[in-house]
Structure 1
């Protein structure tokens, strides 16, 4: 099985609900699979291959496009819960009895809803740059994103320049490196997220951020929580809240990072993940 994300083949599988899911698989197939849950408007090609390749040296990795994203069929759900339902059908289509889950940003929200649906299918959890349902400041994400989107258009920059690595040392260098990295796959690239994908996912996040908080004390799975100290997308205070409410959890805060801390510190983060999963 491939250990280089830049050349890992694109695969598809049809779930029991008729959705064709697009995914990539690499690493050690003898391990419990680590399934990656993506951020808003993220696709298979927005994962930093440096991070994925580090993890794949020791783990069995699955990166996938949920319903309506990239080359996966169907229409993007407008609720985080439905995204979790769809993700569960994908996991079952691959005949996985148990997984580890890494959810980044919106993906971390989906993982939390997945646990409410089926607490037995997930062994260990990594929640990065995310927060609890009804979390502090998450409902402001739309305003922040729209402002940064207009700024990115006026400066002809990628919007991630203003969301992932803002207000940190060496911001421009880290941003440029990441943006080059996610463009480095030369063939069989994923389909970019459309405006419709972005708007439907944004509605799901808005509704989720205003919904009744879930009882996170029911989560007994070992959980690793990771964030940057300057996260403007999902304010860092939410990572502290997750750590306080999930009793069996460990918190890592990178003091010089923002929302995209797992990409900025991919070596440190991957090492922590491997140690945690082992």
Structure 2
């Protein structure tokens, strides 16, 4: 087992904006969703900001709209930000409905190559962190820095979402929004999250949050289940030398913080930062501070 490189835990002031600051990329005139055609199908994406590229991979049953607009705005001050929908969501439509985490990683690799991104950082949130890990295993030369936010390692030492959390995240109907907020955020942030989440979502003009079909839910459920059983991927992480920043909220009840500790042991060039009182969707709690921490990591020279 590799030693963990710990950074000092951080305690940040919550900074939910509730849509009050209109200086954000999804309000910029002319920002339009683009569609990349690949041999396997299409990928819908947005591209904005200036600087070194960073590719964001979203999570379970999520679309691009789930990114916090102020978080990506902070990143866009120093980076070209690329956000996209995973296959089966919105305009990202690939052939067939059965696919694996390796297929999602291949989609991300195709996006990086076709957009001719030079040494991008790759950030994966939640299930997106699983896809980012697989990408780092399969295509390490495509990534300059790896950022894993509220994610989970492969193999038996992973702690996947509980059955109850899974039912909440995949549910619908009356009260669904409040139930989801209750698992994405700790009690201390819940009132603010319920008031601010919808106003702070990334919602460019002309982009409607797409529905998540039963087929996508089923495919992503299988990805999480198989990742928990993927002992080979856990061994392969030991050979991933890409500099990695792992960010874990201490109040994450979807993917418990010990997942990030296991990840830190598995990756030989990783640093773990624990965010006190951070929930699973902590980019909504701390959009500016989280982005600044990520930006500092990307800017740090590789030894």
Same fold (TM > 0.5): yes
Of 207, 212, 220 in structure 2, the residue corresponding to residue 188 of structure 1 is 207
2:4 maps to which residue? none
- Please state how far the C-alpha of 1:187 moved relative to its aligned partner: 3.4
Q: Which 4+ stretches in 1 moved above 6 angstroms?
A: none
Residue 101 of structure 2 is aligned to residue 80 of structure 1 = yes
- Please state how far the C-alpha of 1:141 moved relative to its aligned partner: 4.3
Aligned with 2:238: secondary structure? helix
State how far apart, in whole Å, the 2-side matches of 1:40 and 1:235 are: 15
State how far apart, in whole Å, the 2-side matches of 1:87 and 1:157 are: 29
Q: Where does structure 1 lack aligned partners over 5 or more consecutive residues? A: none
State how far apart, in whole Å, the 2-side matches of 1:153 and 1:277 are: 41
Q: Are the structure 2 counterparts of residues 6 and 76 from structure 1 closer, same or farther at C-alpha, using a change threshold of 3 Å?
A: farther
Residue 124 of structure 2 is aligned to residue 103 of structure 1 = yes
State how far apart, in whole Å, the 1-side matches of 2:27 and 2:97 are: 26
How many corresponding residue pairs? 272
1:229 maps to which residue? 250
Residue 29 of structure 2 is aligned to residue 9 of structure 1 = no
Deviates most, 138-147 or 220-229? 138-147
Q: Is the contact made by 2:24 and 2:70 (CA closer than 8 Å) also made in structure 1?
A: no
Q: Where does structure 2 lack aligned partners over 5 or more consecutive residues? A: 1-22
1:22 maps to which residue? 44
State how far apart, in whole Å, the 2-side matches of 1:183 and 1:91 are: 21
Q: Is the contact made by 1:148 and 1:162 (CA closer than 8 Å) also made in structure 2?
A: no
State how far apart, in whole Å, the 2-side matches of 1:254 and 1:39 are: 19
Q: Is the contact made by 1:22 and 1:71 (CA closer than 8 Å) also made in structure 2?
A: yes
2:241 maps to which residue? 220
Q: Are the structure 2 counterparts of residues 156 and 88 from structure 1 closer, same or farther at C-alpha, using a change threshold of 3 Å?
A: closer
State how far apart, in whole Å, the 2-side matches of 1:233 and 1:136 are: 16
Aligned with 1:235: secondary structure? coil
Q: Are the structure 2 counterparts of residues 25 and 147 from structure 1 closer, same or farther at C-alpha, using a change threshold of 3 Å?
A: closer
Q: Is the contact made by 2:26 and 2:205 (CA closer than 8 Å) also made in structure 1?
A: no
State how far apart, in whole Å, the 1-side matches of 2:226 and 2:240 are: 22
Kindly report which structure 2 residues correspond to 1:115-264, keeping only aligned pairs within 5 A, or say none.
115-134=136-155, 136-147=157-168, 153=173, 155-166=175-186, 168-182=187-201, 185-212=204-231, 213-264=234-285
Q: Are the structure 2 counterparts of residues 174 and 147 from structure 1 closer, same or farther at C-alpha, using a change threshold of 3 Å?
A: closer
Q: Are the structure 2 counterparts of residues 5 and 214 from structure 1 closer, same or farther at C-alpha, using a change threshold of 3 Å?
A: farther
- Please state how far the C-alpha of 1:123 moved relative to its aligned partner: 0.4
Kindly report which structure 2 residues correspond to 1:18-57, keeping only aligned pairs within 5 A, or say none.
18-28=40-50, 31-57=51-77
- Please state how far the C-alpha of 1:147 moved relative to its aligned partner: 4.8
State how far apart, in whole Å, the 1-side matches of 2:111 and 2:291 are: 25
State how far apart, in whole Å, the 1-side matches of 2:169 and 2:92 are: 28
Residue 82 of structure 2 is aligned to residue 58 of structure 1 = no
Q: Is the contact made by 1:43 and 1:191 (CA closer than 8 Å) also made in structure 2?
A: yes
Q: TM-score, normalised by structure 1?
A: 0.89
1:189-217 per-residue CA deviation (whole Å, 9 max, x = no partner) reads 24232232122111111111122133322
State how far apart, in whole Å, the 1-side matches of 2:151 and 2:55 are: 16
2:91 maps to which residue? 71
1:129-155 per-residue CA deviation (whole Å, 9 max, x = no partner) reads 0021125454444542115656x7453
Q: Is the contact made by 1:77 and 1:204 (CA closer than 8 Å) also made in structure 2?
A: no
